[in-house]
Structure 1
Amino acid sequence: MSITGTLIIQIIVFLLLVAFTMKFVWPPIANALDERAQKVAEGLAAADKAKSELADANQRVEQQLAESRTENAQRQADAERRAQAIIEEAKSRANDEGAKIIAAARAEAQQQAVQAREALRDEVAKLAVRGAEQILRKEVNPAVHADLLNRLKTEL
């Protein structure tokens, strides 16, 4: 065989190989590459979607945290106001109770003073009678002179 014949046969075989490859081998490879490219594109789109969903979720979480902080601060302020109101109410009750105790103590002191005055009047009346007895040198009968002794008590 000559080199030209070999070259022509090799060209024909090469062209058959190229035709066979383009008809039977190349389409499945191209499809596989296209499918792979589509999967990669879908994966990238899903990753971008997941990133945006994550950003949205983070934003919602931050918003809920801010609302919770605000609500917590408001509850704490309400609790402080209630505590202050309870303290003021307790102070008011204590002041009222103190005023009642002071009023009762004053009334008791006044009653004791009245009783002491009465006892003192009785003692002064007895001393006056004794003094009158000694001055007159005779006994004064309390039953007979009860009216006189009562007037003396009221004067004292």
Structure 2
Amino acid sequence: MNLNATLLGQAISFVIFVWLCMKYVWPPLLALLDERRDEIAKSLSLSVNAEKELQIAKANGQQLIDEAKQNASQLVEQGNQRKAQIIAEAQAVAGQEKERIVAQGLGDIEMERSRMKNELKEEMASLVIECAQKLIDKNLDTSTNREFVDKLIREI
């Protein structure tokens, strides 16, 4: 066997093998690579879009959080104002009730004072009559004594 014939046979086999690979193997591989490249490019663009949307969502989320905080602080402030208003109303009602109770107490005291004054006058009249009877040692009728004592009390 000749080295040149073997080499020539191997070269022809290699060329046929390369031609077959280029005709049947290489195009599907290139198609797969192109498809994969397109898929990667598409994924990259989607990830960029997703990142932009994430940034927008973060900004919107922060804005919503800020608005919620502001609303919460407004509600707390309104609650504090309402609390102060209720306390003021309760103090006003309590003040009015206090004045009413004091006025009623003063009225009761005045009535009791008048009643006691009248009782004292009557008791004093009885005591004066008894004293007068003992001093005079004369038996005057009770109506005359009563008129006399009433006159004295009025003068006092």
**TM score, norm. by length of structure 2:** 0.81
Q: What letter is aligned with 1:57? A: A
Q: Deviations over 1:3-24 (max 9, x none)?
A: 5555555544444433333232
Q: Deviations over 1:41-64 (max 9, x none)?
A: 112222222222222222222222
- Flag structure 2 segments of 5+ consecutive residues without an equivalent: none
Aligned partners of 1:129 and 1:140 also within 8 Å: no
Report the CA distance between 1:83 and its aligned residue.
Answer: 1.5
Aligned partners of 2:121 and 2:153 also within 8 Å: yes
Q: Within 5 A, what are the aligned runs for 1:25-104? A: 25-104=25-104
Aligned partners of 2:125 and 2:149 also within 8 Å: yes
Count of residues paired in the alignment:
156
Partner of 2:119: 119
Report the CA distance between 1:100 and its aligned residue.
Answer: 1.2
- Flag structure 1 segments of 5+ consecutive residues without an equivalent: none
Q: Deviations over 1:131-152 (max 9, x none)?
A: 3333432123233455444433
In angstroms, what is the RMSD of aligned CA positions? 2.5
